[in-house]
Structure 1
C-alpha cells in the first residue's frame, strides 16, 4: 500500500479516547439490538409453548443467515476506513464501497430470503415436529421480508460509524426498539383496533421495525451535511466490479467465521438438549448472560476495525498497532469485570431471568451456576478473540483468521464438547469446557497473528516519493 500523505501518529491517550468514542455507542447499539430480539420473545412466550418453540427454530435459521450476510458486508468497514486514512479521492472511493455494499446486501439478501422460504423443509429434514416446523415455516415466510432491509441498514450503520458518527446508529436502534415494542403489542394481541395476529403478528412487527430502521438511516444520511456530501444514493445502479470483488474477497471469510462461531454455539445447544431439558434450560440462561456481556467487546472490535483501518490506509504502522492494542486492552478490561461478576455474584445475575430462590428452580439454578463459572473463565478469551479479529480486519486480513477460527471452534472446541459431554461424567459441564477450549484456541491464534503482523507483511507500506 502506498502512503499518500503524512499524519501525526496519535498518542496512546488520544487513541484510547478515539477508540472509546466509537466503541461506546457501537456497544450500546449492539445491546439495544439484543433487546429488540428479546421483545419478540417476551410477547411470543405469552402465546404458549408451541409458538415459542416455533419462533425459536425460525429465528435460529433467520438469525444465522442475517449474521452471515452482516459479516459479508462488514468488509465495507475496513475499506471505508482505509480510504479515509489514505485521503486521496476518499469521497469517490467511499461512495463506491457503500454502493457495492448495497449491491451485496440486495443480492445476498435475496439468497437469504430463499433460505428462509425453505425453512420448513430444513426443519423437517432435521427431524423437528411437523406441526412446529409448519408454524416456523409460516413465521419465516413473513420474517424473510425483513432480511434485505436489515442487511441494507447494516451497510448504512457501517457508513455512519466509519465516518465518525456512531451515535446515529445508537439513536436509530433505540427508535427500532420502541417500534418493535409497539408493533408486537398492537399486532400480536390486537391492540389499537388492529386484528390479533398472534405469532404472525410478531413476524410482521419485525418487518416493520427493519423498514423503520432503513428509512431512518436514509433520512439521517440525506439530512446530515457531512454524510450527504458522499452522495451514496446517486447512480447507485452503476457497477464497480473491482470494488465488489474486494468486498467479496474480504467479506466472505468474515461471513464464514461468523457461521463457524454461531455453529459452535448452536451445536452446543443441540448437545445440551440430548443431555437433558434442565441442562438445556440452564445452558440457555448462562449463554444469554455471556452473550449480553459479549456485546461490549463486539462493539470494541467494530471500533478496532475502523481505527486500525484508518491508520492502515494512511500507511502508519505504529498508529495501526497502537489502535489494535488499545482496543484489545479495552475489550480485555471489560471482560475481566464481567468475569468477576459471574464468579462473585452469579445468583444475582440469574434474577434477570428467574427466581433462583424458588424450590422449583433448584436443579436449574445448580446447573446454571456451574455453567456461569465456566462462562467467567472464557470471558477473557472471548473478548480477546473478538477484538483481535476486528483489528486484523482493519488490516484487511480475513482469510487466515477465518481458518484459525474454524479450526479452533470445530476441532479442539466441538471435539472437547462431544468427548467430555458424552464420554465422561461431566455431561453439560464438559460441553461448556469444550466451548471455553475453542475460544481459548481462537484467542491464542488470533492474538499471535496480530502480534506478528509486521513480520507477516500485513503492514508493509511504501512511502510516496
Structure 2
C-alpha cells in the first residue's frame, strides 16, 4: 500500500489542482460578463473533446512505459517517448486545423455574431495551446510511470499559482498597464502557462536520464503500433464518455433553465467524485504494469484484485457520505431553491452511478494492463450511446408502457436513470471479462 499511496496522493492532488484552475477561470469570468462565460463554455466543450482524445491515445504510452520501467529497459523507454511525441505532432496538426476552421460548427450551434466574435480568437489560441498541453501530458505520464509522481504535483502547484495570477490580470486588466481581455485573456494565460510549464518541467523537474535522446532513430513502427493498439480504443472510450455528457447538456435545453442548471450541479459533483477512483486506477495500473514488465505475473494479478477491492470500497464510502450530507453539499453548488430541489432528487441516482462508474474505471484500467482493450471499448461505447444517451432521451420526452407498467415523461431524471443503468451493465460486463481473463491465466499457468 505504501507504493500505491506514494503514487495515488500526488496524482489525485495534481488532477484536483488542474480542475481548480479551470474553476477559477469560470469564477473570474462570471464577475466579468455572462457572455464571456458562455464563450468559454463553448470553447472548452470543443477543446476538451480533442484534448481527451489525445490523452486517451497516450494511455497506451503509460502501459508500455510502466512495463519498460519494470524491466529497467531505458532504451525502450526512449522509443516509447519518441513515438508519443510523433503522435502528439500529428494530432496537433489535425486538431489545429479543426479549431481554426470551426465556423460551420458555430453556425450549427446557432451562436450569434457577438458570441462568435468572442469564440473565434479563443479557438485560435487553443490551437496553439494543444501541442504544449499534450507534450506536458507526455512528461507527466513518463514521470508517473517511473514512480516519481511527486514531481508532477510540485509542477502543478507552480502551474496553479502562475495560471490563476496571470488569468486574473489578463481578464480584468491592470489599469494603465494591461487592457482587460475578458475570455480571451483566460486563454492567453492558458497558452502562456502551458508552454512555460513545458520548458520548466523538461529542464528542471524531469530526471536527466528520462530526457529525450534526440540523436539516433526517432521513428520505430513496432513501438508505435503497441501504443496505438492500447491507445486508440482508450481514446474512443474517453471521447464517447465526454461526448455523451456534453450531448445530454444540449438535449435537455428544451426542459428549461432549472433542469439545465440542476444537471450541471449533478454533473459537477459527479466529476469531483470521479477524480478519486480515476486517480486510484491510474496509480494501480502503473504498479500492475510495472510488475508485468518485471515478469511478476502472479503478484500483478494479486494487485489487480486488491485494486478492485480498494476502489470499490472507497466508492461505496463516498456514495454513503454524499447520501447522508447531500443537502449541505448540493447547497455549495447553487442557492436557487428550484435548482436545489431538482438536484437533490438526482442524488440517489448519482450515488448509484458513482459506485458502478468506479467499478467500470478500475475494471477497464486493469483490463488495459492485461492488453484487453477492444471488448471494453465496444461494451462501454454501445451501452452508453444506446442506453445512456438514446434511452435517456426517450424516457425524458416520451411516456413508457411496458408489461402493465405505465410511466409518465421522466424529464431530466430519465437521462440519469439510464446513465446509472448503463454504467451498471457496462461495469458488470467488464468485471466478467476480467474474471474470464484471470481464469484463462490459471488454465495456462
**Alignment correspondent of 2:317:** 337
Q: Indicate conservation of the 8 Å contact 2:171/2:183, yes or no.
A: yes
* Alpha-carbon distance in structure 1 between the residues aligned to 2:443 and 2:108: 47
Of 392, 399, 408, the residue aligned with 2:383 is: 408
Point out where structure 2 has 5 or more consecutive residues left out of the alignment. 400-408
Q: Indicate conservation of the 8 Å contact 2:319/2:354, yes or no.
A: yes
After the TM superposition, which residues 147-296 of structure 1 pair with which residues of structure 2 at under 5 Å, given as runs? 147-191=130-174, 193-222=177-206, 227-235=207-215, 238-296=218-276
1:349-372 deviation per Cα after TM superposition (whole angstroms, max 9, x unaligned): 1233233xxxxx111110111122
Q: CA deviation at 1:144?
A: 2.0
* Alpha-carbon distance in structure 2 between the residues aligned to 1:236 and 1:448: 45
Q: Could you say if the C-alpha distance between residues 402 and 220 of structure 1 is closer, same or farther in structure 2, counting changes exceeding 3 Å? A: farther
**SS of structure 1 residue aligned to 2:437:** coil
**Which one scores higher on RCO, CA 8 angstroms, separation ≥ 6?**
1
**Alignment correspondent of 1:116:** 99
Confirm whether residue 29 of structure 1 aligns to residue 20 of structure 2: no
Of 379, 390, 393, the residue aligned with 1:418 is: 393
**SS of structure 2 residue aligned to 1:196:** coil
Of 377, 397, 421, the residue aligned with 2:352 is: 377
TM-score relative to the length of structure 2: 0.93
Q: Indicate conservation of the 8 Å contact 1:254/1:402, yes or no.
A: yes
**Alignment correspondent of 2:29:** 44
1:188-246 deviation per Cα after TM superposition (whole angstroms, max 9, x unaligned): 11128222212211110111121132123202355xxxx32244243387212221122
Q: CA deviation at 1:105?
A: 1.4
Confirm whether residue 447 of structure 1 aligns to residue 431 of structure 2: yes
**SS of structure 1 residue aligned to 2:358:** helix
Of 39, 62, 67, the residue aligned with 2:52 is: 67
* Alpha-carbon distance in structure 1 between the residues aligned to 2:115 and 2:204: 41
* Alpha-carbon distance in structure 2 between the residues aligned to 1:456 and 1:132: 56
1:135-178 deviation per Cα after TM superposition (whole angstroms, max 9, x unaligned): 22221111221101110111111100011000111111121111
**Alignment correspondent of 2:421:** 437
Q: Indicate conservation of the 8 Å contact 1:271/1:431, yes or no.
A: no
**Alignment correspondent of 1:18:** 3
> How many residue pairs get matched?
435
Of 326, 332, 345, the residue aligned with 1:346 is: 326
**SS of structure 2 residue aligned to 1:26:** helix
Q: CA deviation at 1:251?
A: 0.7
User: More displaced, 90-99 or 386-395?
Assistant: 386-395
Q: CA deviation at 1:300?
A: 1.1
Point out where structure 1 has 5 or more consecutive residues left out of the alignment. 1-15, 356-360
TM-score relative to the length of structure 1: 0.89
* Alpha-carbon distance in structure 1 between the residues aligned to 2:383 and 2:216: 40
Q: Could you say if the C-alpha distance between residues 457 and 321 of structure 1 is closer, same or farther in structure 2, counting changes exceeding 3 Å? A: closer
